[in-house]
Amino acid sequence: MNTSNIKNLETELRNPHTQTIDSMNTLDILTAINKEDMTVPAAIQKCLPLLAEMVNEICSRLEDGGRLYYVGAGTSGRLGVLDASECPPTYGVSPLLVQGIIAGGDSALRVSSEGTEDNPQQGRSDLIKAGITKKDAVIGLAASGRTPYVIGALDYANSIGAYTGAVSCVSGAQISGHARIAAEAVTGPEVITGSTRMKAGTAQKMILNMISTSVMIKLGKVYENLMVDVQPSNKKLLLRAASIVRECAGCGEEEALELLAASGNHVKYAVFMGITGCKAEEAETYLKQAKGHLRLALDIYKEHF
């Protein structure tokens, strides 16, 4: 292994602002960490045009029946699994639509499996096992930008015609050359040298939030800034759903709950019904015509009257 290449990565450099952190008091330690964290959004801001391209292509794939896969190892892999697992309860999508694949499998979410990340063939095999097709999108995640497992997955995805993107936290990342589009959020030296679960991890978490949220907005899962496809599967979520209906339809809580019941607990239908006075069947028809976009469905409805 060529360690000189590793030492030149921005994520592996020593941070001059924290070289005495071991002698600081608790408040100063926290202040130093917080100050470094404040630099992360600026690093991400430089990537926004690239991320916009990535989101648009992902949306195109998903609208055509494809899926989104995040692939990573260690912290990057865990963050990918986290973001994917949050999509079904938040936006009512199938767990298969956005999937996180981590080197070492699900057990690596709790127990590190560093050896697996050095195996590019395993990255390929895990994508094959997941059933990836040319309709899908694969986003490779690696703070250092050089994880062989991720490179193997990206190479296979490219070979079958799937869309590929890469997210890293160093300049000139190796994985960038294995993806159609690459976002490099250069977060610089970590507070603790090489601890990429810190600033680099924060950057990746923020970017994944941005990608999945933007994708879901563009897929019609959001009306105004409300989660109109949330699944009211427990008491808390039922109250949230009722609150969304109240906000959108301008009605009281009792009416909101009645609308939800009449819609079969389908928030989007209930909102449409509350605004237009239509029945659930009519709401379903308009929303199908609008491909699930509530604002467009309401516009279509208004054109008829």
- Integer-rounded Cα Rg, in Å, for the chain is 22
Which two structure tokens, joined as six digits, stand for 194? 């090489």
Report d(CA 108, CA 24) in Å as an integer: 34
Helix (H) or strand (E) run with residue 168 in it:
strand 163-168
> Which of 116, 195, 196 lies closest to 148, judged by CA?
116
Q: Are strands 181-184 and 68-72 parallel, antiparallel or unpaired?
A: unpaired
- Give the catalytic positions in this structure: 86, 117
